[in-house]
Every structure is written in C-alpha cells, then in structure tokens.
Structure 1
Amino acid sequence: MNDVRILALHSSQSHSGQWRSVQQALHAANPDARLQAVDLIGYGQGPALMKMPQEFRFDDEIQALESDGTLTDDQPLILLGHSYGGALALRLARQLGARVQGVILYEPVAFHVLPADEPARHEIVAVAQKMDAYSDTEATEAFVDYWNHPGFFARLPGRVKSMMIAQQRKVQADFHALLDEPASLADYQTVSCPVYLLHGSKSPLSSRTVASLLASVLPKCQSITVDAGHMAPLTDPSLVNPHIIAALEQLLSPRR
C-alpha cells in the first residue's frame, strides 16, 4: 500500500513538529511510507485564525486543508491525530468515507459526544468557560495545567510561555469547534475503516470518557491503554510511538 499517504494532525498548542519522532521511527521501519504532518490554522506555519473563537468550526479547518492542496487529490489516506487533531481526523473519516483506509488516534477530544448530564462534560465546559472569561495569559495557564498538572505552565521557560499565549485564541477556537460540532455519538458508527484508539490511564476525565464512548460505537475499533497522560505523544513518545508504528505497519500491509 505504498500509494497511501499518512496525514498527521497535531494537538492544540502544538504544530507539525510534534510528529518528528514518529516520522523517524516510521522511516526506520518502512522507508517507503510517506507521512505528511501539517500545521493547522493558528499554529506553526499554518494560516492565521480569521474568525472570532466562538464562530470557529471544523469546517474552517477542513476548508484550509482543501485550499492548500492537502485534501484535493483522491489519494487513499491513513489519518493520525492527537487530541484536537484526533477529533479532526474522525470528522475527516466521516466526511471522506472509503478514501480513508485507517485512523490512528491518541485521545481524540470529540467533546460534542459527551452527554449533557455527563460529569466529564461539565468538567471540560468549565475549562472552556474559564478560557473565554480570562486574559490570554490566565487562559493559557488554565489550558496547559488542565492537560498536565497544576503549576506546569508556571515552570515553563519564558519564550515557551510567550509562544503559547500568542496562540491561545486559537486554542479557544478549537474548543468551540470541539464542543459545537453538529454530530452525535451515533454518527461515528459510519466510520467503517479500522481505528486504533490509544488512551492514557492517567489522563483527565474528559478525554478518557470521550475515548470510552467512541470505542463503544466505532465498528472496527481497537482500544489501547497507555500508562501515561493526555500529553504522552509529546512527553512520553517512547510509550506511544511503538503503538503508532505497529498500527501503521498493519494498515500498510499488503495482506489487508
């Protein structure tokens, strides 16, 4: 399946470089495989955010990927995504249908599948509301500490803090896209390709609950627990990357 392109979608407050170690490991395992990591709106070399955060939706992200040529051909795809990028990958899998040969995810934060009375939804909505109400600096701290641990942001180098603060409005836009996506949990039953769903045992309630719900409806889902937290693709790649490479090898195998 050397004609397949692997499209990697990063998390919020990140950029395409988060997949560098996966690219290196994949090249060592399968030199012919092609992994394309892209910068999403508001991150790295991606296009600027042109909307108010409250108005932003996945449709805007997909339109940007179409405009830059990422999605314009009919080449078969394997989608790889973490967090926000994982939720976007699932939206693309629903939209592109048979063109998507497989999806590999680490905790896709598709918050819109959380029921209204679910404690995990209350938890993440509270985070989103804080970010909308706070200053950019306070909002960045709330976001970073939620996905890591209290005090994590305060201990980051100054230049890293400044970069994150500059990107915070896109983070808030991401949250609105994630919470306001017009899809139900049942809609994900239409994703007919194999899905490898990695999730951390030490992650927050919101992302663990989303992973559990998605695993219950995705028809061809293999759920994989990693002894780490939500940010493991960045903080513990040695625990995550072997699972990603194994999944890619299975999806790329001509025996499929």
Structure 2
Amino acid sequence: MTAYATFHDLDGASVFITGGGSGIGAALTEGFLAQGARVAFVQRSDASAFVAEMAGKYAHAPLYLPCDITDIPALKDAIAQAAQAHGPITRLVNNAANDNRHNVADLTVEDWDAYQNVNLRPHLFTAQTAAPMMKAAGYGSIVNFSSISYMLGMAGMAGYVTAKAAITGLTRALARELGPDQIRVNAVMPGWVLTQRQMDLWATPDVLAAHLDRQCLPEHLQPRDIVDAVLFLSSQTSRMMTGQAMVVDGGVAVSG
C-alpha cells in the first residue's frame, strides 16, 4: 500500500480498525495488510466485496465484523472476536465517523447525542476493551482520528466538530492513564481528504479550488496520505510518542 516505508514490527500484528471497509478506513486496512498485519475491522455497511478484493491481493484476508459502533456491547464483542481470531489486539485505530452537515438551529437533543455516540463515545470504549490486552502484551498503540475542523472552527457541523475537539482531549487523558502500561495513545488530525464520499457530496470545482488555495502544498489529500501517518504512530518506530495530535492537512492549520 505504501511506497515509502516498511514497519517491520507491524508484520503479524493484531490490528483492530473501526470503519475499516470504506473511505480512509479501507485504505488503512489495506495499508496494514501490506505490512503483513492481521486486520479485523467493523463496519455497519456491507464490506464483503472489499474483503474479497483484499483476499486476492494479500496473504491474509481482513476479518470483517458487521457492527454499528453506537452499540457498545456489540462493539466490545467484535473486539473479543478479533482477538480470538488474530490474537490480543496491540494496535487499535478509531477511524469511523459521521461528518454529515447540519445547522445549529435544526439540531435536536437526539441529533446531538447521535453525533457524539458515533464520533466520540466509541473511542473510549474500544480503548477500554483493548487496553488489558495491550497491558498483557507489554505494549500497545491506539490511534484516534480527530480533525482539523475544530482548529478552523468550521460551521455547519457543530456536533461533529465538538466530538473531534473532545477526541484530542480524550487522547491526552488516555495517554497519561495508560502510559504506565507502555500503551501509547495519539491522534491524527486530517485535513480534507478526498474520499469518494467527499467527492460525491461536497467537492464542487469551486470548493476544491478554494480549499487548495488555503493549503501550503498545492495537492489535494488522498487516503494514502493518512495511512502512512497512522502506520508510523502504530509502529514502535514512534515508541516515545504519546499524547500527541499529528496534523496531516497539506499545511492548512498551523500548530505548535
């Protein structure tokens, strides 16, 4: 998947990814498979065709576990199934999200809760479930997907933006609490990654051109650009990095 680096310690690693069958998640699944990892992922929509495609390209097919990540008992059960199939989880990637646009004036209490339930709540409970496995293994890496959307104060998606800001805080809290067990917790903060969903729903020529003008690098982000950052944070190559929020956005947001 990546043309840039091989992370030898990911070969044979047991990896669990939320939303790993489409968009950035599918690219992540393939990226780990290309490193030789054993990957399990959950996805609400059918990912059978993707699994068949991966089975034809790599030594190990990914384990697809249909699951709605807002159902926490089902999500925990999926992690247990993944561990039974591939061994204790030592790499966890919380990728799944819902970035549907919405106006503050129209939000109901139920809508607000729904955005937090899909975009924030699973990050805590997947970590809670995988952490004992990582502790027993003597190490582990958790990568949470945040977003530069809250750094930019983006309008039209308050529920999503709030959850992504909270993920950065959760990442730092988990890094401090789980660090004594050699479990690292970091966040990736992507810019606008042009998945097929983004292209279908929001990427008009004018919007694309305006966004590119805001980047330092004159090239739109693709899923592969996020994969390499996640592989790095998941590998022991980054063994002394924890509690960090890595921005991958082509130079839109300024941090540090």
- Give the TM-score category using the shorter length: 0.3 to 0.5
The TM-score with structure 2 as length reference comes to: 0.44
- Normalised to the residue count of structure 1, the TM-score between the two structures is 0.44
RCO greater where, 1 or 2, for CA within 8 Å and sep 6 or more? Answer: 1
